[in-house]
Structure 1
Amino acid sequence: MGLLAVAVAVICVAAAGISRRKEKQKEEDTLKVGISIYQSDDTYVNLLTKKIERQLKACEKQQGIKIHCKIVSAENDQNEQNEQVEHFAALAYDVICVNAVDRTNVSTMIDRAEESEIPLIFFNRQPVQDDLRKGQHIYYVGSDAQESGRLQGELVASVYRKDPAVLDKNGDGVVGYAVLEGETGHQDAIIRSEWSVKTMTSSGVPAKRITGGVANWMKEQAAAIVGRWLKEEEGELELILCNNDDMALGAIETLRQEGRTDISVVGIDGTEEGLMAVRDGKMLGTVKADSDIYAEYIARMVCGLKKEGTVPKEILEGHDREVWIPWEIKICPELEE
């Protein structure tokens, strides 16, 4: 009886050992991806994260591996985002993706990822170059802010060339414009605004700045700002250049409520709602960064870093750390050249 008990105990211990090894193997075979976004109510970033999830599921089927993806929001708090990255690192996530709250203050996250030897992919909000060079596996996926501004200005110029009256509604020979900026001091907001106006005017559009404001990328804030503008301006405002589609949609909402059809609005991003507004003739146009390509590249980078320990060369296209997603102009169908 004693021998039987010993035998049973040995079998139980062995079984437990096998179970633990299987569990460990299962965990090792699972690709764990942590994604931290700067805030939860940014339409374009939410669109991106949903598509990244979808692409990761496709990779799961194609490569026969289990992928666990955890998405969290820092709600515009850099300290909170630092803690989220710390949490991912402590749980030994395989890859961490970050849409940074403060692009100039990412060192803590980079140091933690490097210490744990975890690849870190920034997306949509670009850190400064010195930070990108701090580690071996620090990457950035995004679109060129200057190009988006340039194309927005080109979009306006193409409409003016076709029919100046579309923009110069009061017929005074000058297009009165305003700029809705995304964020005070934000690199993309500054560059998009500068290059949009510069390209528009250098392409032959006679323009005069009427006013401007900062709406922090938000639809509601943009709607409120445009409401104030309409109470103050005296028929000179004819065009609103917006740093993103959400703010453009907020501007359009207020203009429609006030019955103002004499002011055109353009955006940047190419969100689903923004593209619909362009198709419906509510928005003059937008500049689109293909979110499908964006998401596909990030998913392929994640899977490549797990499987091969590196990013596929065809994605980097000659760059060692940065992946650039191209922009394209989307204009109201009846105004296409």
Structure 2
Amino acid sequence: MKLRGVAALSALALGLAACGSGTEAGGGGGDITIGLAVSTLDNPYFVALKQGAEKAAAELGVRLTVVDAQNDATNQVNQVQTFTTQGVRAIIINPVDSKQAGPAAKAAENATIPLVAVDRSVDDGKVASEVASDNVQGGTLAAIELGRATTGEVVHLQGIPGASASRDRGRGFEQGLNSGGIKVVASQPADFNRAKGLDVMTNLAQANPGIKGVFADNDEMALGAIKALGDRAGKDVQVVGFDGTPDGLKAIEEGTLAATIAQQPDVLGRKAVEQAVKAAKKEPVQEVVDVEVKVVTKKNLAEFKK
């Protein structure tokens, strides 16, 4: 590698260090650097997504630089803008907020750097490829499964309001409600966070003492809800989550979580890197990449435990 290439990569590392936590993975080959802007690494789901991306980067011989927005949409825009000034060949964004990711997409477009969205969409901006689970289908499956597990009044713990995953899972959940005898009596955001899920569920349970079920837009909030419900969880109140995280699977095994809709975050990360590398090389990319979701219950739990 030429000296000026080394200098450019050194500048990249220094510049990103000021924007968030950064890690690099690569096979040491090629001259392609991909930037990955993750919404938060304070969530095992996104840690798995990052690990899948890092493994793909290593196998493809490209350099991957990861930054953590810590669920701050403004911080994430700044991180993407920094990427555009540091010579990356493609950018992958896992938006904190799909609506607020527009300026990040515009910055990439202005710099003629291809942008790949992963797990969540970008509402207003140009992307070369979108890699995501079918969250609408997942929400529908969650409603069907909750309807199988219980009947009566249920509550819905929503994710970050501006995130496409929250909107799509909520839309799918509403579509699936007619499949069973459940009725939503309260919905409230808990921002995909376990501690907030605990707080919100505590308040909702007090306001709605007769509830029989909970759907949470991710396993972290579901686990918070389980803690708030105490001995009621898995007995007179059934909880369904989303993601299929190790802690979620453990809760299914213990009987406190009735089901979760398993995504494949490592596959999402891998496919996002694959599309980003193709875009960086100006090769044809797949505009939409769908990754399958599956219902996990105690019956098929063994298939998902690693």
TM above 0.5: yes
Q: RMSD value over aligned CA atoms?
A: 3.0
**TM-score, structure 2 length as denominator?**
0.81
Write the deviation string for residues 78-98 of structure 1: whole angstroms up to 9, x where unpaired.
Answer: 332222122212110111111
**Is the 8 Å Cα contact of residues 35 and 66 (structure 2) preserved in structure 1?**
yes
Q: Does 1:274 align with 2:241?
A: no
CA shift for structure 1 position 117: 2.4
Count of aligned pairs between the two proteins: 284
- Structure 1 CA distance, aligned partners of 2:293 and 2:174? 18
CA shift for structure 1 position 19: 6.7
**Is the 8 Å Cα contact of residues 233 and 239 (structure 2) preserved in structure 1?**
no
Match of 1:255 among 217, 224, 229: 229
CA shift for structure 1 position 257: 6.2
**Is the 8 Å Cα contact of residues 242 and 268 (structure 1) preserved in structure 2?**
yes
**Is the 8 Å Cα contact of residues 38 and 74 (structure 1) preserved in structure 2?**
yes
Match of 2:94 among 96, 99, 113: 99
Aligned counterpart, 2:22: none
Q: Does 1:309 align with 2:289?
A: no
Q: Does 1:68 align with 2:90?
A: no
Match of 2:168 among 191, 198, 202: 191
Q: Does 1:156 align with 2:139?
A: no
Q: Per the alignment, do residues 285 and 127 of structure 1 end up closer, same or farther by CA in structure 2, a change over 3 Å counting?
A: same
Task: Give the structure with higher Rg (CA).
Answer: 1
- Structure 2 CA distance, aligned partners of 1:293 and 1:310? 21
Aligned counterpart, 1:146: 136
- Structure 1 CA distance, aligned partners of 2:231 and 2:102? 45
**Is the 8 Å Cα contact of residues 115 and 276 (structure 2) preserved in structure 1?**
no
Q: Does 1:58 align with 2:32?
A: no
Match of 2:85 among 82, 90, 98: 90
**Is the 8 Å Cα contact of residues 120 and 163 (structure 2) preserved in structure 1?**
no
Any stretches of 5+ residues in structure 1 without a counterpart? 1-17, 61-66, 161-165, 169-174
CA shift for structure 1 position 108: 2.6
Q: Which amino acid aligns with 2:153?
A: G
Q: What are the within-5 Å matches in structure 2 for residues 283-294 of structure 1?
A: 283-294=257-268
Aligned counterpart, 1:327: 293
Identity of aligned residues (%): 22
Structure 1 segments of 4 or more deviating over 4 A? 18-28, 257-260
- Structure 2 CA distance, aligned partners of 1:182 and 1:266? 14
CA shift for structure 1 position 198: 3.3
CA shift for structure 1 position 282: 2.2
**Is the 8 Å Cα contact of residues 89 and 113 (structure 2) preserved in structure 1?**
yes
- Structure 2 CA distance, aligned partners of 1:75 and 1:23? 29
**Is the 8 Å Cα contact of residues 119 and 268 (structure 2) preserved in structure 1?**
no
Match of 1:211 among 186, 195, 204: 186
Aligned counterpart, 1:239: 213
Any stretches of 5+ residues in structure 2 without a counterpart? 11-28, 302-306
CA shift for structure 1 position 26: 10
Q: Per the alignment, do residues 295 and 188 of structure 1 end up closer, same or farther by CA in structure 2, a change over 3 Å counting?
A: closer
Aligned counterpart, 2:23: none
- Structure 2 CA distance, aligned partners of 1:108 and 1:25? 25
CA shift for structure 1 position 197: 3.7
**Is the 8 Å Cα contact of residues 155 and 331 (structure 1) preserved in structure 2?**
no
